[in-house]
Amino acid sequence: MTTRAAGGEGDIDRFFERLTGAIERALALAFIVAVCVNFANVVGRYAFDYAFLGADEAQIYIMVWMAFLGAAVVSWRERHLRMDVLVRCLPARVQVTLRAGELLLLAGLGGFVLVESASYAWRIFTLGQTSNTAGIPMWLPHSAVALGFALITLMALWRGAKAVRRGGFDPTPAGRADGVDGTP
């Protein structure tokens, strides 16, 4: 039988799972759009001697969104690159301490980047700055940084809060035995 707290934890975990799944699908669609825009621009240039103004800018901004929201998905799934060969050789207590420090550092640095990038995006929004060719409001690509790091920070804080509620940190990401593919 699960307790109410454990049920609440599961609800939040499921929320992050659904959110990252939705982000992943949106990013896949954005990638398809970027490829189609690129293809149309290439055909236009070489077949009709016509270039779509702003196509390159739009593709770059799509890639910015893909990078920062993709980083949030990777953070939730804990599939980012890890330099933990030596850490895995350390005693469990040291691994747990390092894991706690990792989450604290991630939350702190993520929060710092969130505040700075949101502030910058807001300044650009208030100035009404747009891109040179496509006229895309520049707060849009810059807000990708803020949103990506907001999600990363929330995920790190959630994992830290869960560990504190449970009375300890698991030394490996997401409780996997080797921190990579889920196999012991």
Give the tokens for residue 88.
């895995």
Distance CA 182, CA 169 (A): 17
Tell me what the mean pLDDT of segment 169-175 comes to: 59
Under the banding of pLDDT at 50, 70 and 90, the label for residue 91 is confident
Instruction: Summarize the confidence of residues 22-43 as an average pLDDT.
Output: 93
Indicate the pLDDT class of residue 155, thresholds 50, 70 and 90: very high
Higher-scoring residue by pLDDT: 78, 108:
108
Where in the chain are the domains?
Answer: 4-175
What is the tens place of the pLDDT at every residue in 33-72? 999 999 998 998 888 988 888 888 989 999 999 999 999 9
With bands split at pLDDT 50, 70 and 90, how would you rate the model's confidence at 144?
very high
- Of the pLDDT bands very low, low, confident and very high (cuts 50, 70, 90), residue 32 is very high
Alpha carbons 149 and 181: distance in angstroms, whole number: 25
Q: Once rounded to an integer, what is the mean pLDDT over residues 96-120?
A: 91
Neighbours of 61 (CB within 10 A): 21
Taking CB atoms within 8 Å and a gap of at least 24, the contacts of 68-71 are 68/144, 68/145, 68/147, 68/148, 68/149, 69/23, 69/26, 69/27, 69/144, 69/147, 69/148, 69/151, 70/23, 70/27, 71/148, 71/152
- Residue 121: band (very low, low, confident or very high) from pLDDT cuts 50, 70, 90: very high
Instruction: Give the per-residue pLDDT at 7.
Output: 58
**What per-residue confidence (pLDDT) applies to 174?**
54
Q: Which has more pLDDT, 129 or 92?
A: 129
Q: What is the mean pLDDT of residues 126-153?
A: 93
Sign, Cα dihedral of 12, 151, 106, 89: positive
Q: pTM for the full model?
A: 0.79
